[in-house]
């Protein structure tokens, strides 16, 4: 954007009256206030919970990142971990370390395993499509009613119980909002299918840590309500050293890197949005602050 000056908060001196756009992740209190020429705020990631919790969010379009490289990375992660659970890969990792030839059974195939994707937005739809290609029996859940050619989409509170009852692997790709906070809890885990081929329900959460109640996850793993979990996001990040999730034998921990935004791609995306806006076209991927996503 050669026609614009670009400044960095806390590094450069600048005149707040001249700031037209802000790109941010987890803005400090006050940092978005007193910017009279502000035209838009860009979230440096797909999620905007870090902005929705800002006190006094400016009344300008809030634009989030939604681009193919991030979407494809997330689908890679979801497919990888669904396949890891399908093939019980962690068991073979342990067997290899013990030099144990653990060849005892034919695993189920993907079509015998029901994956339920919570959140049927940009990420959920791409992941669901790719899980279908691998053969999984896929369904999804969203806030508003939707349809898809390839799989069933349940919606809202009314559709939740039926969605959970047909789910062996629950993939969470929900945004964190007041409605979804803490949704991944014991009551919900207790409604997942118990008659599946994997020996118990499995949770994969790559949405946000605030969606999950970690105490419930550990207790449900210990009493068999859940069989295993893959978690990319946590209530507190980095995951505290004393969290039992680090060492739980049924938990796979990844450090919030299922779909890291590439800095170069994100910069290009934001520059592209600014060019659209300055050419009189609307921003894309504008968030609705009333919904919180
Ligand atoms: P979208 O806004 O495109 O999709 C959100 C989906 O969630 C929609 O289908 C929406 O329903 C659904 N939803 C929202 N609230 C509810 C609710 N109360 N009940 C049921 N469904 C609900 O977002 P993306 O797919 O782009 O991203 C999803 C989230 O993934 C982000 O908000 C972020 O938190 C997380 N993320 C995590 C990353 C990581 O590295 N771990 C990387 C990138 C994103 P509807 O279709 O009806 O609107
Ligand atoms: C995002 C993230 O929201 O990386 O983009 O979590």
Residue pLDDT, tens place only, 163-177: 999 999 999 999 999
Contact 174, 208 (CB under 8 A): yes
Core vs surface per residue 260-286: b (16+ CB within 10 A) or e: ebeeeebeebbeebbeebeeeeebebe
Number of the ligand closest to the Cα of 261 = 2
> Tokens in use for 292?
């919180």
Evaluated on CA atoms 179, 184, 187, 189, the torsion sign reads positive
Residue 123 CB–ligand 1 contact under 6 Å: yes
Decide if pLDDT at 144 tops 80: yes
**Is residue 47 lining ligand 2, measured as CB closer than 6 Å?**
yes
- Cβ(46) – ligand 2 distance below 6 Å: yes
Alpha helix (H) residue ranges in 20-104: 49-52, 68-86, 89-97
Q: Residue-wise over 91-120: b if at least 16 C-beta within 10 A, else e?
A: eeeeeeeeeeeeeeeeebebeebbbbbbbb
Q: Note the Cα 124 to chain centre separation in Å.
A: 9
* Cross-strand bridge partners of residue 205: 172, 231
Calculate the average pLDDT of the chain. 97
Comparing CA positions, the residue from 211, 220, 285 lying closest to residue 251 is 220
* Cα 204 to ligand 2 centroid, rounded to whole Å: 16
Query: How far is Cα 189 from Cα 222, in angstroms, rounded to an integer?
Result: 13
In this model, does residue 153 exceed pLDDT 90?
A: yes
Is the CB of residue 164 below 6 angstroms from any atom belonging to ligand 2?
Answer: no
Measured from the Cα of 259, ligand 2's closest atom is 4
pLDDT band of 200, cuts 50, 70, 90: very high
Q: Report helix, strand or coil for 216.
A: helix
Instruction: List strands edge to edge, sheet with 21-24.
Output: 21-24, 40-43, 62-63
| Measured distance CA(292)–CA(52) in Å, rounded | 6
Encoding tokens for residue 289? Answer: 């602050």
What single-letter DSSP state applies at residue 76? H
Q: Where residue 107 falls among pLDDT bands split at 50, 70, 90?
A: confident
- Per this entry, what is the length of the chain? 293
At 106, is the pLDDT very low, low, confident or very high (cuts 50, 70, 90)?
Answer: confident
Q: Atom 5 of ligand 1 has which residue's CA nearest to it?
A: 121
* C-beta contacts of 43-47 below 8 A and 24+ residues apart: 43/287, 44/261, 44/266, 45/70, 45/261, 46/70, 46/122, 46/123, 46/259, 46/261, 47/175, 47/176, 47/207, 47/208, 47/293
**Does the CA dihedral 215-84-90-234 come out positive or negative?**
negative
> What amino acid positions are annotated as catalytic residues?
208, 256
Q: What is the pLDDT of residues 218-264, one digit of tens each?
A: 999 999 999 999 999 999 999 999 999 999 999 999 999 999 989 99
What pLDDT digit, counting tens, does each position of 8-53 carry? 999 999 999 999 999 999 999 999 999 999 999 999 999 999 999 9
Counts of helices then strands in the chain (DSSP H, E): 8, 10
| Mutation test residue for ligand 2: of 67, 70, 119, 233, the one with most atoms within 8 Å of CB | 70
């Amino acid at each position: 954007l050669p026609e614009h000056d670009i400044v960095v908060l806390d590094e450069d001196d600048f005149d707040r009256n001249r700031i037209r756009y802000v790109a941010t992740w987890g803005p400090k209190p006050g940092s978005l206030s007193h910017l009279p020429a502000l035209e838009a705020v860009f979230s440096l990631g797909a999620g905007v919970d870090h902005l929705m919790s800002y006190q006094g969010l400016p009344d300008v379009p809030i634009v989030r990142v939604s681009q193919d490289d991030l979407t494809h990375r997330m689908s890679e992660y979801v497919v990888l971990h669904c396949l890891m659970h399908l093939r019980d890969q962690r068991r073979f990792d342990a067997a290899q370390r013990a030099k144990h030839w653990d060849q005892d059974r034919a695993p189920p195939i993907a079509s015998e395993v029901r994956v339920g994707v919570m959140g049927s937005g940009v990420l959920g739809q791409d992941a669901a499509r790719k899980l279908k290609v691998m053969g999984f029996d896929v369904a999804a859940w969203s806030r508003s009613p939707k349809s898809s050619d390839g799989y069933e989409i349940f919606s809202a509170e009314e559709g939740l119980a039926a969605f959970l009852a047909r789910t062996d692997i629950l993939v969470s790709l929900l945004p964190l909002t007041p409605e979804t906070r803490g949704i991944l809890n014991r009551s919900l885990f207790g409604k997942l299918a118990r008659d599946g081929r994997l020996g118990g329900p499995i949770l994969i959460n790559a949405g946000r840590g605030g969606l999950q109640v970690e105490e419930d996850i550990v207790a449900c793993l210990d009493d068999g309500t859940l069989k295993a979990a893959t978690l990319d996001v946590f209530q507190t990040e980095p995951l505290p050293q004393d969290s039992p999730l680090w060492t739980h034998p049924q938990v796979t921990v990844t450090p919030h890197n299922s779909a890291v935004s590439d800095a170069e791609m994100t910069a290009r995306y934001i520059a592209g949005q600014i060019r659209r806006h300055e050419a009189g076209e609307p921003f894309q991927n504008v968030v609705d602050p009333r919904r919180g996503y």
